[in-house]
Chains A and B, each alone.
Chain A
């Protein structure tokens, strides 16, 4: 019985870590090229909403995931327009985007389901395809940054855009691409939440997972494999929190409720100084100024 319980928790941990892992990979690719995406929570939330809606309409969770990617990419491109091309402050723009996504999804959801009406549960994807998808993404990112010229150019753009520019790489274009892909991954992460473990959408369903993902990227030192490992740590806490809420312990269950966030905070604190921040993170690039 005990063993079964442990396996069940482990499975739940993996399921709950996947959305965070995907969003963290999205944050990672855009931060490696120098674009800080504080709109990540909002992109995840939009992806979660789009995924749920598409899944409900078509009855296919796969279409839901696709919708999450599309909406995430769109949002990512908007972020690129604002912070790369128009050069708006990256911190403030990201926060504003998240606020917009939060109120926007709440509004659209209220339009569809008036208060009191119960939104239906949608078909959920099993664990194997989601795990496979995450592994493909993490491998793709690792391969991109370790084995390809364009990946190297992207990383150079994040470290020293002037140098990348001098070598003939298009800094603005690379940042656009990275922010768009990053948004897509965050949207996919959100959709993987509503079309995966949850099977439903509620107001602010992502519950800070986008911010958790941002913290995990710092924890991971901007390495894809470590980011996924960190996401698993979060998933483990999240799963045990759900499990322990039902059991009777001397510790108040609210401690477990706070646990995933406390662990994330601890991870952020432990690694903040040690990890190697991209040199030009959140710094806009203007040719010929330096």
Chain B
């Protein structure tokens, strides 16, 4: 059970890890793009049927989604804002999944990053710092805290053989308790009646010029090409990919697989922790008891639909954010439950996973 995900070299995964399958032929490339598009279309059709069953015209619902996102200045700005944490956490997942390290604990690392970053920038003696060093150190602290939290799950696997899927998720619940404690007592604003941290004030991220989107979006978009270069050109990225191919090949070359597991867990945790602080400093302005809104889980979808590729992750995150923003408006205007977005995106993932397996089966002819 310990490394179920990683130790099955004799039976390669479905085409799920697209592009690192045994045959990255042109057929593979086509299915890499065809499968997610088909999955999105199929999920939107099912979503439309659900909307119709609920008694609303599906076409007007989807038209409202498009209108909310593309008409007016607000929609695109809001979409970029909503996509920011998804891009960051999704990038981390995509790197880890490439090494076939299936962490699902991004939500916990996100919370721990937000808590640590907020604790830092609201601490006495530090909160009076000028904006720039305050913002930068806050983000660094958050990334380090997220990396450490994620590293624990990695270490539990490399040291004790505890399955990362399960341990990383257990740590999400522990992080939730840490959040409750932090806003209730740990870093609570003494002047606030409800459990809250102090407002971040000078540590808040500035807006991007001409938009209502915060600078976190620029950070996320800046990290996309960096992640792409790391995976495609850097030695570390190559080792991550090689681990996904065949973990034993690395051992044969005296590169410790354990180090790769720890490396990807730390990277994923740092990005998720960063996301937590970016969201707090960019959107909410302070940390509250309801800070856990599920970005860490939605980002799993983003990573998978984005084919574990940084650019794909950015596209998938923007698409998912657009759907979310659009459906919020659809709920207001047409009374279609906004939680339908969750169903549609989860369906996309299910269809992608199954589509990959079918494509793989067809290619191997068995």
Contacts and interface: CB of A to CB of B under 8 A. Distances in A.
A207 interface: yes
A88 B356 contact: yes
B350 A111 contact: no
B42 interface: no
A89 B353 contact: yes
Contacts of A96: 304, 346, 349-350, 353
Contacts of A36: 4
Interface string A191-224: 0000000000000000110011011011000000
Given A93-B353, A254-B180, A215 B366 contact: no
A91 to B, nearest CB: 5
B102 A103 contact: no
Number of chain B interface residues as a range: 35 or more
B353 A82 contact: yes
Contact of B163 (A252, A272, A286): A272
B169 A97 contact: no
A103 B180 contact: no
A24 to B, nearest CB: 12
Interface string B132-165: 0000000000000000000000001000111101
B177 A254 contact: yes
A5 interface: no
A261 interface: yes
Given A88-B354, A106-B342, A289 B170 contact: no
B166 A86 contact: no
Contacts of B341: 103
A275 interface: yes
A147 interface: no
Contacts of B300: 95, 99
Interface in A55-104: 82, 86-93, 95-97, 99-100, 102-104
B156 A269 contact: yes
A265 B160 CA distance: 11
Nearest to B175: A258
Interface residues of A, number: 55
Contacts of B25: none
B11 interface: yes
A221 B116 CA distance: 37
Contacts of B54: 111
A89 B339 contact: no
Interface in A16-65: 31, 36, 38
Given A103-B343, A104-B346, A95 B165 contact: yes
Name the residue among B2, B5, B102, B353 with the largest chain A CB count within 10 angstroms: B353
Interface in A249-286: 252, 254-255, 257-258, 261-262, 264-265, 268-270, 272-273, 275, 277, 281-284, 286
B119 to A, nearest CB: 15
B181 A252 contact: yes
A145 B342 CA distance: 39
A110 interface: yes
B159 to A, nearest CB: 9
A184 B339 CA distance: 26
A257 B171 CA distance: 12
B340 interface: yes
B89 interface: no
A107 interface: yes
A257 B161 CA distance: 26
A284 B11 contact: yes
B304 A258 contact: no
A265 B162 contact: yes
Given A99-B301, A208-B169, A218-B163, A273 B184 contact: no
Contacts of A214: 166
Nearest to A217: B1
A281 B11 CA distance: 12
B4 A91 contact: yes
A108 B297 CA distance: 19
B353 A92 contact: yes
Contacts of B361: 86-87
B170 A261 contact: yes
A260 B203 CA distance: 36
B291 interface: no
B2 A102 contact: no
Contacts of B211: none
B283 interface: no
Given A82-B353, A96-B349, A258 B177 contact: yes
Contacts of A270: 160
A87 B14 contact: yes
24 contacts: A36-B4, A82-B357, A86-B354, A86-B358, A87-B357, A88-B14, A88-B353, A99-B349, A100-B343, A110-B339, A211-B166, A211-B170, A212-B170, A215-B163, A218-B163, A254-B184, A257-B176, A258-B176, A261-B170, A268-B167, A269-B156, A273-B161, A286-B11, A289-B366
* Nearest 7 Cβ contacts at the A-B interface: A103-B342, A88-B357, A258-B177, A254-B181, A100-B346, A272-B161, A261-B173
Interface of A: 31, 36, 38, 82, 86-93, 95-97, 99-100, 102-104, 106-107, 110-111, 207-208, 211-212, 214-215, 217-218, 252, 254-255, 257-258, 261-262, 264-265, 268-270, 272-273, 275, 277, 281-284, 286, 289-290
Interface of B: 1-2, 4-5, 8, 10-11, 13-14, 16, 50, 54, 102, 104, 156, 160-163, 165-167, 169-174, 176-178, 180-181, 184-185, 297, 300-301, 304, 337, 339-343, 345-347, 349-350, 353-354, 356-358, 360-361, 366
Given A91-B102, A93-B354, A208-B173, 18 more contacts: A36-B4, A91-B165, A92-B304, A97-B350, A99-B346, A100-B349, A102-B346, A104-B346, A106-B342, A215-B170, A252-B185, A255-B181, A268-B162, A268-B163, A272-B160, A281-B1, A282-B4, A284-B11
